[in-house]
Amino acid sequence: MILKMMKTAITLVAFILILSSPAVLASRSFYSPDECCFVFYPRPLSVKKVVSYKYTDRMCPMEGVLFTMQSNANICGDPSVEWVKNVLKAKQKVRPKNE
């Protein structure tokens, strides 16, 4: 009885170690982006209040632009909407070339 319990415990530990090995973990898709847009802001933003912007990660379910405002708020914009394109154009003009 004790031998059977030890054998089961050893098998369980071996199974856990195999599943948690780096090779197995690397083959799984555990990566998820930190910042994705799920809802887009509906109204145009003031270009003067936008401090910076960045595109969301390609792993996000929807393509988006994350605007950082002077108030440190992050607002998502739909990159296919005209006002978002206008804000991006305006900000690209003032953005340094090396960014």
pLDDT band at 10 (very low <50, low <70, confident <90, very high): low
Between the CA of residue 98 and those of 64, 94, 95, what are the distances in Å? 23, 12, 9
Q: How does pLDDT run across 29-88, given as a tens digit for each residue?
A: 455 567 899 999 999 999 999 999 999 999 999 999 999 999 999 999 999 999 999 999
Residues 75 and 97 grouped into a single domain: yes
User: Same domain, yes or no, for 73 and 85?
Assistant: yes
Residue 98 has pLDDT above 70, yes or no: no
Six-digit token string for 95: 């953005």
What pLDDT sits at residue 26?
45
Write out the residue range of the structural domain in which residue 75 sits: 32-99
Please indicate, yes or no, whether residues 21 and 40 belong to a single structural domain of this protein: no
Q: Are residues 39 and 25 in the same domain?
A: no
pLDDT at 87: 96
Do 43 and 82 belong to one domain?
yes
Asked if 67 and 94 sit in the same domain, the reply is: yes
- pLDDT for 56: 94
pLDDT at 34: 77
What pLDDT score does 27 carry?
43
Q: How many domains does the chain have?
A: 2
> For residue 2, is pLDDT > 80?
no
Domain identity same for 93 and 60: yes
Q: What pLDDT score was predicted for residue 39?
A: 95
CATH of the domain at 85: 2.40.50.40
